[in-house]
């Protein structure tokens, strides 16, 4: 039996089943990724005090502006 016969479906029913398996695998992978993201978010919230986003962005902007000014052109 050739490799093509092994991997290519023979009829519409097999094609539909293969497509459904792929959809199910994709959904399971997506759910695992969402669960991991939710766990990371929960860990972030539990990690301690939070800083206002404006404070963080202002600090980062000042850092990168200073770095840009230090580089010779």
Residue appearing with tokens 């759910």? 31
Q: Is the pLDDT of residue 59 over 90?
A: yes
Model-wide pTM > 0.75: no
23-44 mean pLDDT: 96
41-68 mean pLDDT: 91
The more confidently predicted of residues 5 and 37 is: 37
Range of the domain at 34: 3-70
Output the average pLDDT for the chain: 86
Please count the structural domains in the chain. Answer: 1
Q: What is the sign of the dihedral through the CA atoms of 37, 39, 42 and 48? A: negative
Check residue 3 and give its pLDDT. Answer: 45
């Amino acid at each position: 039996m050739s490799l093509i016969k092994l991997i290519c479906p023979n009829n519409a029913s097999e094609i539909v089943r293969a497509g459904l398996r792929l959809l199910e695998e994709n959904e399971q992978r997506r759910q695992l990724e969402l669960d991991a993201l939710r766990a990371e978010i929960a860990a972030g919230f539990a990690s301690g005090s939070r800083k206002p986003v404006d404070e963080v962005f202002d600090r980062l902007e000042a850092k990168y502006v200073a770095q840009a000014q230090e580089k010779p052109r």
